[in-house]
Amino acid sequence: MLELYHWEPNAESLALLTCLKEMKLEFESHYVDMLKLEHHSAEYLELSPKAVVPLLVADGEAMSDTGFALQYLAEQFPKPRFAPTDPSAWYDLQAWSAWLSGMMGLGSNVQLLGWNYMMLEAMPADELDEFRARVAELPKEKQSGWAAVWSDAEADEDQLANAEQRVADVVTRIEKLLADSQWIVGDAYSIADMLAYAHIHSLSDLLPDIVSHQSTPNIIGWLERISERAAVTEAQSMRRSTIAPVLYAAPGS
Amino acid sequence: MLEVYTWEVNSNSGKPLIFLKEKGVEFDFHYVDVLKFEQHQPEYLKLNPDGTVPTVIHDGKVMTESTQALQYLDAALPGPSFTPDDPIERYRMRWWATHGAAWAASLSVLGWHAFMGPMVRKMGDEKLEELLARIPNKQRRIAWSTAANSTFTEEQLQNARDGVSAGVQMMEKRLKVSPYFAGESYSIADMVIFANAYSLPLMHDYSANEEISPSFMDWMKRIYSRPAIAEAFKLGRTPMRERAEEMIRRCTGQGAA
């Protein structure tokens, strides 16, 4: 029995939705509306004390780390296989997973930039006001991740430049890798591609200087190969919000 | 061919040493003296451009992510397995190995303030500045400079102590439920966390003691009593080794505390 608590099909929610669709697994989908801060409700905090979205629940185990949840799915449901079997490729998969996911990885930096460069502009003013009021009601320690997001906060140029640099570093690494290989790990599409795609697919809009036909042709080709997959289309069709194309998960979520 | 470039049985450096002693596999040990910033020397950077320790090389495969390297070695080498068979327990092992020692960032502040900072400053300002200037990544250079000069405020130090205490309580909660982090058996997660936590009862006993963290202390004693742990610490060359040996004596009941 699998349950997935997720938001819009973007970032790590997209990675897990894609994986479940690729593996054709039945699961109960619970939409958590992060703009309504449903992940901070008492009910959700019971499940995930740190308010993490997405959350995969498998046999009663609430899995808050997306990279490891994908590895769990690949090991628990090995057919068809979406992860390598040999230890060397498995190391590569895990190393990529760490660089892509987590607070130090690509994901959190994309998140920060997504909010600063796109989300705040895309949200209708009244919705944004309403949203900010909701955030202000959260306990203090849960608000820290938002400080860098608000446009009227002392926009920390250093922090944004640093986030762009980190994204650029990982993108460069991937572009180089894809010059010799069709996929992130080994010679087949895997959960590493699902995770990388989930974080990178919006970058040509968000950071056109960093990801584009000109500067990263290999990444663009790889994105196209993945976006043609039926499971990816299916996962992305689960959009609900009108501003979904530019939605980024909440900082510190 | 298995080569390990690393420093002491401490934090990331300690992980492959503990693991390989547990696995019972021979390896070439290359001591990288972090207190002399050898990990930022051109020769080492050829091996590992990020300038981090450890670097593990097995049959030409170069690995710089230490926790992931242990999982590779566990699968690739002969000997007892330290990875659970059950996929859910594997998830727990990976989760704890990655997030279960996140508090070690706080411990590192305290370690540099009290221990490593004074040791590296013995080389003198000029030499220290010269070595710091060689660190390739700007952010890492700033972090190392702050650490080496121990320019932490009292507030930062107190936050760090609070961070360590919160970390121990998180581990205590887990170890109340199961004897080891992944579940019933000793795994890579325990080795990774131990490599970070081994000094807590001695150096930071406000955070870890029989009253406030009995399950954690019981786990600590079980790990310290393992022969492979004593073997691993024998590879050390700094006072870190002596303080670990003091803990081994306490935990195995050999000699007075």
State pLDDT tens for residues A48-89: 988 889 999 999 999 999 999 999 999 999 999 999 999 999
**pLDDT score of A197 more than 90:** yes
Establish if B220 belongs to a structural domain.
Answer: yes
Q: Is residue B188 part of a domain?
A: yes
Rounded to an integer, the average pLDDT of A213-226 is 96
Asked if A77 reaches chain B (Cβ–Cβ under 8 Å), the answer is no
Q: Please state, as a whole number, how many other Cβ atoms lie within 10 Å of the Cβ of residue B1.
A: 8
- Number of structural domains (chain A) is 2
Say how many C-beta atoms besides its own lie within 10 A of residue B44's C-beta. Answer: 19
In a domain, A111, yes or no: yes
Residue A148 confidence (pLDDT): 61
Report chain A residues whose CB lies below 8 A from the CB of B68. 91, 94-95, 98
Q: Do B98 and A98 lie within an 8 Å CB cutoff? A: yes
How large is the ipTM? 0.90
Comparing A236 with A141, the larger pLDDT belongs to A236
Q: Which residues of A touch B94 (CB under 8 A)?
A: 65, 68, 71
Residues 6+ apart with CB under 8 A from B200: B107, B164, B168, B207, B208, B220
Distance from first CA to last CA of chain B, Å, rounded?
A: 41
Position A252 in a domain: no
Give A163 or A149, the one with higher predicted confidence. A163
Q: What pTM does this model have?
A: 0.91
Instruction: Tally the domains of chain B.
Output: 1
Mean of the per-residue pLDDT values of chain A: 87
A170 in any annotated domain: yes
Q: Is the pLDDT of residue A242 over 70?
A: no
A116 within a domain of the structure (yes/no): yes
- Decide which of A171 and A109 is more confident: A171
> Of A118-132, A161-175, B174-188, which has the strongest mean pLDDT?
B174-188
CATH value at residue B228: 1.20.1050.130
- Which of B61, B94, B139 is closest, CB to CB, to A68? B94
Question: In the prediction, which pLDDT does A90 show?
Answer: 95
Mutation target among A59, A63, A68 for the B interface, most CBs of B within 10 A: A68
Asked if B61 and A58 come within 8 Å (Cβ–Cβ), the reply is no
What is the CATH classification number for the domain harbouring A65?
A: 3.40.30.10
pLDDT for A26 equals 97
CA distance A32 to A37: 8
Q: CB-based contact (8 Å) between A59 and chain B?
A: yes
Identify whether residues A9 and A122 lie together within a single domain.
no
State the pLDDT at residue A131: 83
The verdict on B33 touching A (C-beta cutoff 8 Å) is: no
pLDDT value at residue B257: 41
In a domain, A95, yes or no: no
Domain region containing B175:
2-252
CB contact under 8 A, B76 and A87: yes
Window 34-63 of B, Cβ < 8 Å to A: 61, 63
Distances (CA, A) of A53 to A62, A137, A176, A198, B144: 11, 20, 31, 14, 34
Q: What is the pLDDT of residues B164-183, one digit of tens each?
A: 999 999 999 999 999 999 99
Are the beta carbons of A83 and A71 closer than 8 angstroms? yes
Are A74 and A112 part of one and the same domain? no
Q: In the prediction, which pLDDT does A153 show?
A: 52
Q: Tell me, yes or no, if A98 comes closer than 8 A to chain B by beta carbon.
A: yes
Contacts of A69 in chain B (CB under 8 A): 91
- The answer on A115 and A33 residing in a single domain is no
Neighbouring C-beta atoms of residue A22, cutoff 10 Å: 21
Within 8 A of A50 by CB-CB distance, chain B residues are none
Residue B257 domain-assigned?
Answer: no
Check if A162 contacts B (Cβ < 8 Å).
yes
Write down the pLDDT at residue B237.
Answer: 94
- Look at residue A98 and tell me if it is in a domain: no
Would B189 be classed as within a structural domain? yes
Listed as ranges, residues in chain B with pLDDT below 70 are: 254-257
Whether residue A106 contacts residue A166, with contact meaning beta carbons closer than 8 Å, is answered with: yes
Segment A100-110 shows an average pLDDT of 74
User: Would you say A197 and A241 are in contact if contact means Cβ atoms under 8 Å apart?
Assistant: no
pLDDT tops 60 at residue A251: no
Q: Nearest CB to B63: which of A63, A75, A91?
A: A91
- Note whether A67 and A119 are same-domain residues: no
* CATH number, position A112: 1.20.1050.10
Full domain range(s) for residue A10: 2-83
Q: A71 to chain B: which residues are within 8 Å by CB?
A: 90-91, 94
- End residue of a domain, out of A83, A114, A130: A83
B177 vs A: CB within 8 A: no
Asked if A48 and A116 sit in the same domain, the reply is no
Chain A residues whose beta carbon lies within 8 Å of the beta carbon of residue B98: 65, 68, 98, 102
Selection from A1, A42, A61 nearest residue B87 by Cα:
A61
Same domain, A70 and A142: no
Q: Does B23 touch chain A (CB under 8 A)?
A: no
Cα A133 to Cα A124: distance, rounded to the nearest angstrom? 14
User: Which chain B residues have a beta carbon less than 8 Å from that of A162?
Assistant: 139
- Give CA–CA dist A247/A226, Å, rounded: 20
